[in-house]
């Protein structure tokens, strides 16, 4: 959820609800001979309100599974989830008489505090990471397509290098590259076969002999650098050494500047293409890391929320029974 002016109504509404709750709580405490108790009528009233809000909170996951449902927009549900989550914590405190409790009640309060903290942390990430992603990953792609894009980058890099080295001796299936317009579809099998034959002819020509002639020593140096350092980086899970070598835009630029100083001018266009491909791979690594940051907190927030709901039901049954 992005915190912007659209959230002001929710903030105002929850602020009013919080003020009304406290306005009802204060005279209740002052007029109760034994003070605020969870088992009193007002205590049960606050507890019921908090339980209703928490049950609604847990329904957000189900609502997201059916985005076309007529039960309000998902964005509205997310906003309600955040603001009612904050309000429900106050309602729980009113229910307990602002006491942390002990035993099961104490465990419930501990769980709720962790859930609330993780939710606030998640909202902070949702407001920070997308902006940071825009700054660090200009070539952001759809997250689920990252493996396909990586395979395409690797195939493209192989092609560029083979213009100088000829066949690299790498046996890897040529993927259908995912571009902005998607994978090209052929409705006529003969048309697809003809296109495949043309591509195969170009590939065989490239692998048979160099298309860019440079001296043998430079050719072997490029082959060695590519196979030992650049190509291992263009995999789905690069080794730590490869990630360190190209960890920042500056490191990557310095690496290719060094290659340009030891390679003839005829190879510089290929090196420029390899640098752009490697930079795109570096950005995909950054995108994956930020994506994990953006979603990993849910591994704490969601299971604890359902555990809290289950224990709250046990707490209600035990309290009403005994």
Tokens of 124: 């902070």
pTM of structure: 0.76
The number of residues making up the chain comes to 322
Q: Which residues of the chain have pLDDT under 70?
A: 172-203, 205-206, 322
Is there a single domain that holds both residue 85 and residue 221? Answer: no
Contact 140, 285 (CB under 8 A): no
In a domain, 175, yes or no: no
**pLDDT of the residue at 226:** 96
Contact 94/25 with Cβ under 8 angstroms? yes
Check if the beta carbon of residue 82 is closer than 8 Å to that of residue 71: no
Q: Which domain holds residue 261?
A: 143-169+185-294
Q: Is residue 264 part of a domain?
A: yes
- 179 lies in a domain? no
The pLDDT of residue 179: 47
Which pLDDT belongs to residue 95? Answer: 93
Instruction: Say if residue 156 is in the same domain as residue 85.
Output: no
Are residue 99 and residue 237 in the same domain, yes or no?
no
Write down the pLDDT at residue 205.
Answer: 66
pLDDT at position 180, please? 44
- Secondary structure percentages of the chain, helix, strand, coil, to 5: 75, 0, 25
For residues 258 and 251, give the distance between their C-alpha atoms in angstroms, rounded to a whole number: 11
At 178 the pLDDT is 47
* Residue 174 placed within a domain: no
| pLDDT for the residue numbered 177 | 47
Domain total for the chain? 2
Same domain, 79 and 152: no
CB atoms within 10 A of CB 262: 12
Do 54 and 19 fall within a single domain?
Answer: yes
């Amino acid at each position: 959820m992005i915190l912007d002016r659209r959230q002001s109504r929710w903030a105002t509404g929850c602020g009013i609800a919080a003020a009304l709750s406290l306005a009802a709580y204060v005279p209740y405490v002052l007029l109760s001979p034994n003070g605020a108790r969870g088992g009193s009528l007002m205590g049960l009233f606050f507890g019921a309100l908090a339980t209703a809000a928490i049950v609604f909170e847990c329904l957000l996951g189900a609502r997201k599974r059916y985005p076309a449902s007529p039960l309000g927009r998902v964005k509205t549900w997310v906003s309600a989830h955040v603001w009612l989550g904050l309000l429900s914590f106050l309602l729980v405190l009113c229910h307990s008489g602002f006491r942390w409790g002990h035993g099961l009640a104490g465990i419930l309060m501990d769980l709720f505090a962790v859930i609330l903290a993780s939710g606030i942390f998640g909202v902070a990430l949702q407001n920070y990471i997308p902006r940071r992603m825009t700054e660090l990953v200009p070539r952001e792609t759809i997250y689920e397509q990252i493996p396909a894009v990586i395979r395409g980058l690797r195939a493209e890099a192989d092609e560029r290098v083979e213009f100088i080295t000829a066949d690299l001796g790498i046996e890897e299936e040529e993927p259908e590259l995912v571009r902005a317009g998607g994978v090209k579809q052929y409705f006529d099998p003969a048309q697809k076969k003809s296109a495949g034959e043309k591509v195969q002819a170009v590939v065989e020509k490239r692998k048979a002999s160099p298309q860019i002639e440079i001296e043998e020593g430079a050719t072997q140096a490029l082959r060695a650098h590519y196979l030992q350092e650049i190509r291992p980086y263009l995999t789905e899970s690069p080794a730590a050494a490869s990630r360190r070598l190209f960890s920042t835009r500056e490191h990557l630029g310095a690496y290719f500047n060094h290659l340009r100083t030891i390679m003839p001018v005829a190879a510089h266009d290929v090196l420029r293409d390899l640098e752009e491909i490697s930079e795109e791979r570096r950005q995909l690594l950054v995108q994956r890391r930020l994506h994990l940051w953006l979603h990993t907190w849910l591994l704490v927030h969601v299971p604890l929320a359902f555990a809290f709901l289950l224990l709250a039901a046990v707490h209600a049954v035990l309290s009403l029974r005994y």
